[in-house]
Structure 1
């Protein structure tokens, strides 16, 4: 659990989840660490079968995280690409991935009960969903798994600013961070390389981005953009519908590119992102592809240019560009109560 998530609610909720799982007859170990790195190390050891109740017979049967999207991100690093499912008790600030799955949000008792029912259901209580694998020289610690979305533009700058703010709490923090970042916003220069582009018309009504064919079926786009987001799921930032048509199980990323918006245009677009209406604006495009490489464009090194934002994912800092984001179909098992 992340004891600081949800204004401290996660610590209280975590104790309740531990007690509830034990009452249901499960053998449970608390893997909470002194910090995120320690918690991840313990989670990976439990999934590998080298610590915890599963040590006598291999890996644990499930890993449960209590917190927000940051804890989902941590859990994904331990279980993605394995057969160990991830259970989620969402009591954080954003909870976007849990909301997309239809889990009870900010109701730890209901989420804990649903978790027990999912475990009792066996295979029927599991759902295989996609995850994105991110690679690049700017990543500390090597490749990273992402459950929700990778942000590399204004949305990343807003995420970084929001993480520095102490007030207000909750999703309003992202609104304040956006207002602060828009004051100094100018579009950045990018080069995007897409692999496995889906040429079918966009279901969300977004405009087509003009791509240049490249070798081995790749396609590229070079230009200035306000937003560059490679989304596995539809929402970020506590309900911002950044890619409203994105699906967790189609094996594709929805890559949002808002091209060359003026400051006034960016200000106008931001409120419509809470409903998903921004994708119908003329300069907002969605490319559905298996993978995308996001890197600085040719003008990124011109004197006077602002540095490109540091990429973020699931609310967490990733690293500097360039980055490659690739959808991995059914890479993540999650515990979901059978309907």
Structure 2
């Protein structure tokens, strides 16, 4: 559990989840640590069998805890249980899990465990790789942000006030004041569709786009930032990423697009494009090194800092098993 998630709700909720699972007859070990690195090390040891082995890993918190849990269980077959009591909870909301109701989430978790294989839902995850990623490749459940949304995420993480999802709105206003579109080069693998964006065919079935953009987001799921529907048609189980590219928006255009992202209406705007593909490599474009250019934002995934560009994001079909009670 993350004791700071959800304004401290996760610590209280985690104790309730522990008690509820034990009352239901499960053997439970608390793998929480003094920091995220220690918790992840304990979780990985439990999943790979070098520590006390587990049949499932449960995380209590927000999307950051889902991100941490994914590092331990993606590709292993060990299922991930989620008690969503954080600020965003976007991945849990997409799965239809009870959000900010730890008692209901804990009860649903018990029912999923009791159901055996029927209580597991296989979903896609994505793997991010690149020289700027500290600690090596990173799994992600929701999305990689590499444009204005990443700058907003970084700013929100630095803000002390306001609390909750309002931080993203304040951070967006602050970033939009100094916004200019950045220069990118995007290389796609396995493109299924990409209406409107002029892609140049490349070797081995790749396609590239070079230009300035406000938003570059590689989405495995439809929403980020506590309900921002960045890629409203993205699916957790189609084996593809929805890569959102908002090209060369003026400051006024970016100001107009941001509010419509809460409903998904931005994808109907002329300069907003979605490319559906198996993988994308995001790197600085040819104008990124010109004198006076603002540095490209540091990429974020599931609200957590990833690292500097370039990086590659590739979907891995059914790499993550999630505990979801049968319907």
Partners of 2:83 and 2:102 within 8 A in 1: yes
Distance 1:14 1:56, change over 3 A: closer
In 2, the alpha carbon distance for the partners of 1:8 and 1:334 equals 24
Aligned partner (choices 269, 289, 298) of residue 310 of structure 1: 298
Shift of 1:168: 1.1
Q: CA deviation at 1:176?
A: 0.5
Q: Give the Cα separation in 2 of the matches to 1:309 and 1:40.
A: 26
Where in structure 1 do 4 or more consecutive aligned residues deviate above 2 Å? 54-57
Question: What SS does the corresponding residue of 1:292 show, helix, strand or coil?
Answer: strand
The 1:56/1:162 distance shift into structure 2, 3 A limit, reads closer
**Equivalent of 1:170 in 164, 169, 177:** 164
Please say if residues 207 and 280 of structure 1, whose CA atoms lie closer than 8 Å, have aligned partners that are also in contact. Answer: no
What is the TM-score normalised by the length of structure 2?
A: 0.98
Q: Deviations over 1:276-309 (max 9, x none)?
A: 0000000000000000000000000000000000
Partner of residue 42, structure 2: 42
Which ranges of structure 2 fall in alignment gaps of 5 or more residues? Answer: none
User: Would the aligned equivalents of 1:91 and 1:108 in 2 still touch at CA under 8 Å?
Assistant: yes
CA distance in 2, matches of 1:174, 1:73: 19
Q: Is residue 14 from structure 1 mapped to residue 7 from structure 2 by the alignment?
A: no
Number of residue-to-residue matches in the alignment: 325
Give, in whole Å, the separation in 1 of the partners of 2:310 and 2:51.
43
Q: Post-superposition shift, 1:55? A: 7.4
TM-score by length of 1: 0.95
Cα deviation, 1:221-256, whole Å, max 9, x if unaligned, reads: 000000000000000000000000000000000000
Quick check: 309-318 or 161-170, which moved more?
Answer: 161-170
Contact 1:94-1:238 within 8 A present in 2 as well = yes
Name the counterpart of 1:67: 61
1:207/1:283 contact within 8 Å kept:
no
1:169 Cα deviation after fit? 1.3
Asked whether the equivalents of residues 130 and 248 of structure 1 are also in contact (C-alpha less than 8 Å), the reply is yes
Does structure 1 residue 90 correspond to structure 2 residue 90?
no
Change (3 A) 1:78 1:55: closer
Give the 3-state SS of the residue equivalent to 1:56 in structure 2.
coil
* 1:83-121 C-alpha deviation (Å, 9 max, x unpaired): 100000000000000000000000000000000000000
SS in 1 for 2:50: helix
In 2, the alpha carbon distance for the partners of 1:216 and 1:271 equals 39
Root-mean-square deviation (Å): 1.1
Equivalent residues in 2 for 1:262-281, closer than 5 Å: 262-281=250-269
What is the SS of the residue equivalent to 1:325? strand
Relative distance call for 1:212 and 1:56 in structure 2 (3 A) is closer
Gap change, CA 1:235 and 1:56, over 3 Å in 2: closer
- Structure 2: how far apart are the matches of 1:241 and 1:83? 29
Q: Does 1:335 align with 2:319?
A: no
Task: Work out the CA distance in 1 between the residues paired with 2:56 and 2:305.
Answer: 26
Q: For residues 19-47 of structure 1, what are the alpha-carbon distances to aligned partners after superposition, in whole Å with 9 as ceiling and x for unaligned?
A: 00000000000000000000000000110
Partners of 1:139 and 1:56 in 2: how far apart? 26
Change (3 A) 1:140 1:55: closer
Q: CA deviation at 1:208?
A: 2.1
Q: Offset of 1:138 from its aligned partner?
A: 0.1
Give per-residue Cα distances to partners, 1:26-78, cap 9 Å, x unaligned. Answer: 00000000000000000001101xxxxx7799x31100000000000000000
| Contact 1:162 1:174 (C-alpha < 8 Å) held by counterparts | yes
Where 2:19 maps in the other structure, the secondary structure is helix
Deviation at 1:330, TM superposition (A): 0.2
Structure 1 unpaired stretches of 5+: 49-53, 198-205
**1:130 is paired with a residue of what secondary structure?**
strand
